[in-house]
């Protein structure tokens, strides 16, 4: 008997609540790590981190979870002439 992939079943899974839960758990762990790594002058940047849920992919056929911070996180991530780049989000996502 030859294996036949269930494309329809996988498509249903990718937009279903189980995939959303799995993606949310992984993203929440990375968000917590990013909040711990970001600078804590006021704590406002760390508090601004949030998870944004949606449907994405080339065909809008799968769940996506995005980690978002407000604009004050940009200088900490990439640096500027006043702030040294900490790459907090990159380090959180790498592992």
Check residue 42 and give its pLDDT.
65
Q: Which residues of the chain have pLDDT under 70?
A: 41-42, 95
- Burial class from Cβ neighbours inside 10 Å (0-12, 13-18, 19+) for residue 46 reads buried
Predicted TM-score (pTM) of the model is: 0.78
Please, where are the H alpha helices in 1-95?
Answer: 7-14, 17-37, 44-48, 73-78, 88-94
Check residue 94 and give its pLDDT.
86
Check residue 72 and give its pLDDT.
82
């Amino acid at each position: 008997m030859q294996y036949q992939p269930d494309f329809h079943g996988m498509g249903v899974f990718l937009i279903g609540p189980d995939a959303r839960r799995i993606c949310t758990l992984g993203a929440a762990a990375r968000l917590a790590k990013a909040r711990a790594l970001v600078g804590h002058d006021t704590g406002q940047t760390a508090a601004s981190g949030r998870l944004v849920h949606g449907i994405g992919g080339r065909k809008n056929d799968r769940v996506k979870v995005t980690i978002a911070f407000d604009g004050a996180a940009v200088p900490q991530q990439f640096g500027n002439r006043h702030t040294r780049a900490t790459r907090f989000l990159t380090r959180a996502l790498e592992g």
